[in-house]
Amino acid sequence: MSSEDREAQEDELLALASIYDADEFKRAQSVQGGETRISVDLPQNFRLSIRGNQTEGLPSSNFECTLCFLPPVVLNFEFPEDYPSASPPAFTLSSKWLSRAQLSVLCKRLDQLWEENRGSVVLFAWIQFLKEETLAYLNICSPYEAELCGVGPKTGKNGAHEGDAGGAGGAVAAGAAGGGQEEGLDGRAVQDVDSLSSLIREILDFDQAQKEKCFNSQMHPCNICLSEKLGSECMYFLDCRHVYCRACLKDYFELQIKEGQVHSLKCPEPKCPSVATPGQVKELVEEQLFARYDRLLLQSSLDMMTDVVYCPRSWCQSPVMQEPSSTMGICPRCNYAFCTLCNKTYHGVSPCKVTADKLLDLREEYLEADELSKQFLEKRYGKRVIEKALEEMESHDWLEKNSRLCPSCGTPIEKLDGCNKMTCTACRHYFCWICMRSLSKATPYTHFQDPASPCFNRLFYGLENEDDIVDEEFY
């Protein structure tokens, strides 16, 4: 190798490393060469569709989408000792969305560019051609139809066969090309596709990754704090594309989650219905808050399901799927079998048991229910339980109107006649019927004799013939 060729090769490799970033150019370690990943320039709103025939066990399927980026065309090269003075670089050209026929056409064009620039470095010219002129040179326009086939040449959109030199609808062949030379195809052309599903996944993933890269490298105004920040410090809602800085969205999300408003993580733009994805929330908030968000989101979703109840055990509370025709629920976590109506241990066809507190609620529910609901309640709790609830209601109402509770033991006391010094029938405690204060066991009447007492001289207050009562000895 002449010193001039060696120096030219080193200068070209250093120039490529300075022009392109690490994702676009990698220099080989053991030889004079490397790999360039070239993103072909696409027109705005470029549409790609792929038809997949049944092959490799995959069902027939179709795919169509609008893209900003397609996976790169990969140029692997190695310099011979007499490059660039005499020989061109040895290379292979591979792609996931171009057929071997289309790649073969591009390989021949790279050969032509070398002939036009023989004796000079040529890699930058090759890269610029592949980036800027690939679509035009292959007569590819939007919408571009590609077809993934198992065997045989297929006719493209404009009637060009796979072996033709660059029809607009050139077919995408399945699998990578081997080292052998097929008729009409260049051995340096490699079509790198495993299956239709992998091709679609890689196309979508690359498009999204490149969009993120472009977004992160540009400046965007935050619609909350109104400052302009780099995209890497911002986030946008996927549906509406409204942009906000991460600091503002973090505060906004954390406030909503702490207040339990997990369904309110919407775009702050007024009347915008876009909602943050769980992945976006996880990126911004702390781990504990995201766990709360995830739990509340699941809880609200389960609450909307009519066939989901919760285990009544306070330490469990796991969601339980309820059979439509049964009132029995079995917790998958603690195996507790319970009645989904009363939350007690499952009791089969027997009526649900009702506590004293529940009776008060039950009578109100029964009195306000229509006939159909009353029949359901009678079937659920039993008619005798309903009658008992109504009796309890009448007793409760009567006691509220006609009795007072003993200040010592709480027993209801009814006053039929006599003075206002009362004795509890249950605990024998003395108390005043007027002010309900406890009275001295030894001298209960001093309460009515003390001028400072609110009940002074009112021992017989409230009796119908109070004026006819004659003073007794204890006065």
CA distances from 24 to 19, 36, 38, 320, 431 (A): 9, 5, 7, 53, 96
User: Rounded distance, CA 386 to CA 147, Å?
Assistant: 72
- Length of the chain in terms of residues written: 475
Task: Decide: residue 28, CB within 10 A, 0-12 exposed, 13-18 middle, 19+ buried.
Answer: middle
- By C-alpha distance, which of 357, 354, 338 is closest to 346? 338
Cα–Cα distance measured from residue 302 to residue 305, given in angstroms and rounded to the nearest whole number: 5
Query: Are the CB atoms for 235 and 283 separated by under 8 Å?
Result: yes
Report the run of H or E that residue 290 belongs to, with start and end: helix 287-303
Cis peptide before 72 (omega within 30 of 0): no
- Active-site annotation holds for 419: yes
Residue 273, preceding peptide bond in cis (omega within 30° of 0) = no
> Tokens 């204890």 map to which residue?
474
170 touches 156 (CB < 8 A): yes
Contacts of 440 (CB under 8 A, 6+ apart): 430, 446, 447
**Catalytic hit among 245, 339, 342, 419:** 419
Taking a C-beta distance cutoff of 8 angstroms, is the pair 274, 240 a contact? yes
Give the active site residues.
419
